[in-house]
Amino acid sequence: MAELTHLDPEGRPKMVDVSEKAVTRRRAIAAGYLELDAPAAEALARGGGPKGDPWSVARIGAVGGVKRASDLIPLAHPLAIEAVDVTHHWDAVARRAWLRVAVSCEGRTGIEMEALAGVTVGLLVLYDMLKAVSHGMTLGPARLLRKEGGRRGTVVLPWAGCPWEP
């Protein structure tokens, strides 16, 4: 059974020492969705509401979430992000606004938290852009689809119903 790495022997939180780890190419892809009620879905399909184009602002918000992950997650290491790719997809039938965030860097620790932070912050921005029309939205789930690099190598986590392959 794997042990929790962010706890010291007494069970107190600690930041993991990654100084002995090899620097490797790291990549992570995460996705998630915001489920919208009919008024919010109609506003998104029209291109937005009173605040403008929600997709553009959500994409910028997702990049900001990636860049601020170590500020939001107390034990996450700050990483030198090299690339962020944000993609969106509108599923009109299920009324789901999907975001996919792919992040890469070279480093000593994984970049999954950055990808997940990007997805969730981007979806929160989308909520903020549409809430003038309706508060009938539900955030999530969001999850990791793929990670590459590090000790475990490549990990692929398929998600049935997700518009993207891991």
Q: What is the CATH number of the domain that holds 37?
A: 3.30.70.640
Q: Residue 151 above 70 pLDDT?
A: yes
Query: Given this model, what pLDDT does residue 15 score?
Result: 83
> Mind listing the pLDDT tens digit for each residue in 63-83?
999 999 999 999 999 999 999
Give the tokens for residue 39.
Answer: 């008024």
Q: Are 26 and 149 in contact (CB under 8 A)?
A: yes
Residue 100 domain flag: yes
Task: Please tell me the predicted confidence (pLDDT) of residue 48.
Answer: 73
Residue 42 lies in a domain: yes
pLDDT digits (tens, 9 = 90+) for 130-148: 999 999 999 999 999 999 9
Residue range(s) defining the domain that contains residue 88: 24-150
Percent of the chain whose predicted confidence (pLDDT) is above 90: 80
Chain mean pLDDT for the chain: 93
- Using the predicted structure, report yes or no on whether residue 49 has a pLDDT greater than 70: no
Looking at the domain assignment, is residue 5 inside a domain? Answer: no
Quote the CA–CA distance of 100 and 115 in Å, as a whole number: 9
Domain for residue 57, yes or no?
yes
Q: For residue 125, give the H/E element and its range.
A: helix 112-130
pLDDT at site 152: 87
Q: What pLDDT is recorded for position 133?
A: 92
Alpha-helical runs (H) found in 9-105? 38-46, 54-67, 69-72
89-109: per-residue pLDDT in tens? 999 999 999 999 999 999 999
Tell whether 9 is covered by a domain: no
Q: Count CB neighbours of 158 within 10 A.
A: 9
State both tokens at 86.
């944000």
Give me the pLDDT at residue 9, please: 79
**Cα 70 vs. chain centroid, distance in angstroms?**
13
The count of domains in the chain is 1
| This prediction's pTM | 0.93
In a domain, 51, yes or no: yes
Asked if residue 93 is part of any domain, the answer here is yes
- Positions marked active-site: 128
Which secondary-structure segment (H or E) carries 99? strand 96-107
Question: Residue 1 has what pLDDT?
Answer: 59
In a domain, 10, yes or no: no
Tell me the C-alpha distance between 103 and 85, whole Å: 7
